[in-house]
């Protein structure tokens, strides 16, 4: 199950599991977003390689119009996944407690 919505200040809040089954919904939500995007990952429990692909596609699309994706409040597990995939070099990532 995935919930994705705009929060206060325009941040995108993502809660649940971003797996292959949920990618079309996440992609549809993120498609109209432009410029710099803050993605609050506090409630993100799991992300698959397909979910990483959605974020990478969004990053490539918004980079020319802003700073790209800024991922905040990712827990240790999610931060490790981003790091293992090399995404810590692509996105600005701010972990919980940093």
CATH of the domain at 90: 3.30.750.24
Go through 66-94 and write b for each residue having 16 or more CB atoms within 10 A of its CB, e for each that does not. eebbbbbbbeeebbebbeeeebeebbebe
Would you state the pLDDT for residue 67?
81
Rounded to an integer, what distance in angstroms lies between the CA atom of residue 65 and that of residue 92?
16
CA atoms within 13 A on the CB side of 44: 32
Query: What is the average pLDDT across 40-57?
Result: 96
Domain count of the chain? 1
Q: Which tokens hold the place of 2?
A: 């995935």
DSSP label of 2:
E
pLDDT band of 17, cuts 50, 70, 90: very high
Quote the domain boundaries for residue 44.
2-95
Query: What is the average pLDDT across 65-88?
Result: 90
Nearest C-alpha neighbor of 59 from the set 71, 50, 68, 49? 68
Model's pTM, two decimal places?
A: 0.90
């Amino acid at each position: 199950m995935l919930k994705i919505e705009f929060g206060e200040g325009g941040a995108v809040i993502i809660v649940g599991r971003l797996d292959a089954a949920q990618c079309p919904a996440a992609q549809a939500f993120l498609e109209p977003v432009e410029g710099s995007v803050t993605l609050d990952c506090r409630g993100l429990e799991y992300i698959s390689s397909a979910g990483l692909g959605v974020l990478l596609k969004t990053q490539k699309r918004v980079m020319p119009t802003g700073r790209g994706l800024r991922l905040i409040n990712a827990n240790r597990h999610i931060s490790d996944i981003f790091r293992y995939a090399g995404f810590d070099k692509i996105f600005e990532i701010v972990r919980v407690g940093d």
